[in-house]
Structure formats: structure tokens, C-alpha cells
Structure 1
């Protein structure tokens, strides 16, 4: 599995021949190392919620690459009048599961706001059984423990930036609830008001979830899990 971080909460995940973009925020993202026009291929685009720094360039990328956009129903309905072909809009809702490109995509709740519908996260299960939890923007909530009851989560992608999401300590505690093997911190360092480094998260992780390994993904670099 290959993961590339384009800054903030913008990730590309490639596994078993499928390339997925999640929250592809490029324009206005001071950490983005490339333009969205440089993305060469994408099969699926997942959008957690419709804040600008998450929906990003989903519409443009979907049209250019003929890629389906998976998001909560209300977000899909808001994108269609903007030019998203109905055939590329895959609306769903919290608790539901669909399968695309051999990947089971479960939509789960997130404790955050949204302009349309609700903020969400995704649990992705690939054909080889590998499981990823991508939380989107969220605060800490106890029902994360239920995700671990139904899924064997290999890697969690969690925000640590504070102010608009969980901070480092809460994100570390979330790892203990999720029982994840690895964690990729996101939504930090993009702007001065967010957590600026990983030191506090690493310290909290040692205390709260010592069994979870932090994965340092450098912006613009591809990490292999």
C-alpha cells in the first residue's frame, strides 16, 4: 500500500491497482507540493465534508479523470449543479457501506460541522483484508471504540491540529479506542493556528496508546505500508 500526503488532510492511497484521493484540497493549500492539474490518475475520490479545505478540487478532478466521487448524499447533490455528472456522484450516508473497485467503503460519523449534510469519516477494507480508518475532521468521541469491534483497523488517519479538530492528546487516546496498529497524523502544520509539529503527539501516543506506531509521511513523498 502506497500513501502520498499532499498536505493538510489531502491524501492519495494506491493499493491493489486502485488509486484513491481523499479530501483533495490543492488550491489554497499552502502545503500542497503540486497542483491538482499534475494528478495523473485517480479511480475514486472520497470527500468527508464540504468545507473548502476538504472538498477542494474534487469536482475538477472527477470530471478530468472520469472518477466517481463518494460523499454524503447532500454533498453529492450540491456538486451536481456545479457540473458533477450524475453518473459520477455516489451519495451515501452514515452507517452505509458500498463497494467500488474492490474496496468496501463504510461511511461513519465525525464530530464536526458541515454546510451540507453531516461531516463523516470512512473505513476502507481492501480485497486483501487491509483496513484503513480515515476520520476526516473530528473531535474525540467514545463510539470510536465501536469501530474496533467491527473492524480490524491497520492504520488510522487522524487530525491532531487542535482548534478545529482533536488535538494531539485526544488523537492519541483515539488510537487506544481504535486499537489501530499504525496512525498517520494529519490536519496539522498547514497554518500557524494549527499544531506545528509531532512532538506532543508522539509523547501522548507513548502514554495513551504505546502499541500504536506513528507513521511519519512527508509532504509530497510516498510512504509504503
Structure 2
């Protein structure tokens, strides 16, 4: 599996022949100028699935654009799926519960302690994250926007995690200190940090944060825009 970090919580996953885009927030993202995010998609003909954790603008901003352009299926909770289905898009609504099988592997929708509403006030259902167990035998947890919660302790009962993607910016989500505790609950020694440095109120000091994870024996990836890691 190849994971490419684009910005904020937006990641592009390549699982075997399948492309999955998570929480696309690019066109209105202050990190990008003149829509220069397009270069990261030049060699991609199809994005097979778009995973949406919750309805906040910084996670759904470009769902409609990418779903139309790349003929993607949107996977999200029932309410978000219905919101985009009414726009004529292909969706697959899920909720908390058992693993659900897809061609790239299987997904379990995981509780997130957060909120979920579209910019127009439409209810966005219960926020969540995604536990992926993929056909290339990798197990990834994308937490979405969440505070620390004890349900994270349950995930190692289902899989041994190869990587957890956790928010670390604080204020609206866990901060990095709580993300360290989350990593311990998850028994996950490799963490990709997201949801930090995009805005002034979620700024971190990268060096300090990396060192704090290192003290606990946890590898923290803080990727630059467009940077990839192989899991």
C-alpha cells in the first residue's frame, strides 16, 4: 500500500490497483495556491472510492468535484451518503458495526468523538473513522476528527495495525499528547499525523512533537505535501 499525504486530513491511498481518496479538502485549502493540487492527480484515470469521515467543510469540500471527475463511489455514514446521492453521485452508506467487504478489502466504520454538519446546516450523521483491512494484507486505521476515547482499545482485537492516521493539532481534535495515548491504546507503533498546521489554531512544533513520540518508542510521520510512504 502507498499512502500519499496531500494536506490537512486528505490522503490518497493506492491499494493494489485501487485508488482511495480520504476527506478531500484541496480547492479551498490555504496550503494550495492556484489550484496546484491538480498535479498530484495527473497520472490517475480513476479514483475508485472516496472515504468521508464526517460533514465538516474541511473534509467534504471537494467530494463532489472528485466523485464526478473520477466516477468514484463515496463511502460514508448513511446521512452523508444520502446527501451526496441526492446530487446524483454514487454512494455506499454504512454505519457503526461489522466489517463490510469491498474489492480493495474490508472496512469497519469506527466511532469518533466529534460533531458532523454541512456548511448549509444539514445534519451529517454520526462522525467516524475507518478501519481498513486490505487485500494487500495491511491494516490501517484512519481516525477522522476525534478526541481520545477508550473505544480505540477495541481495535487491536480485530487487527494488528500497520499504521494509524491520527489528528494531532488540538483544539478541535486530539492534540499530540493525547495522540500518543491513542497510539498506546491502539497498540500502533507507526503513526501518520494529520489535521495540524493548516490553520493558525492547530499549529504545532514538528520537532518537539516528533521527539515526544520518539520518547515513547513510536514512529511519527509528518509528511510534506505530496510525500508518500510505503506500508
Question: TM over 0.5: same fold?
Answer: yes
Q: Deviations over 1:49-88 (max 9, x none)?
A: 010100121112112211100000000111122332xxx1
CA distance in 2, matches of 1:90, 1:36: 26
Matches within 5 A, 1:76-91: 76-84=81-89, 88-91=90-93
CA distance in 2, matches of 1:10, 1:50: 14
Runs (5+) with no aligned partner, structure 2: 118-123
SS at match of 1:193: helix
Runs (5+) with no aligned partner, structure 1: none
Q: Deviations over 1:138-173 (max 9, x none)?
A: 000011011112211110000001000000100011
Q: Counterpart of 2:225?
A: 219
Q: Counterpart of 1:69?
A: 74
Q: Counterpart of 1:7?
A: 7
Give TM-score scaled by structure 2 length: 0.89
CA distance in 1, matches of 2:181, 2:208: 13
Q: Counterpart of 1:44?
A: 49
CA distance in 2, matches of 1:37, 1:82: 27
* 1:194 Cα deviation from its structure 2 partner: 0.5
Q: 1:32 to 1:10 in 2, by over 3 A?
A: farther
Q: Deviations over 1:71-110 (max 9, x none)?
A: 00000111122332xxx11000012422222321111110
* 1:203 Cα deviation from its structure 2 partner: 3.4
Q: 1:6 to 1:126 in 2, by over 3 A?
A: same
CA contact (8 A) 1:19 1:42 kept: yes
CA distance in 2, matches of 1:62, 1:37: 17
Mean CA deviation greater in 198-207 or 104-113: 198-207
Say yes or no: does 1:151 pair with 2:156. Answer: no
CA contact (8 A) 2:15 2:136 kept: no
CA RMSD after TM alignment: 1.7
**Count of aligned residue pairs for this structure pair:** 220
CA distance in 1, matches of 2:32, 2:97: 32
CA contact (8 A) 1:160 1:167 kept: yes
Q: Counterpart of 2:113?
A: 111
Q: Counterpart of 1:22?
A: 22
Q: Counterpart of 1:178?
A: 186
Say yes or no: does 1:99 pair with 2:101. Answer: yes
Say yes or no: does 1:166 pair with 2:174. Answer: yes
Mean CA deviation greater in 144-153 or 190-199: 190-199
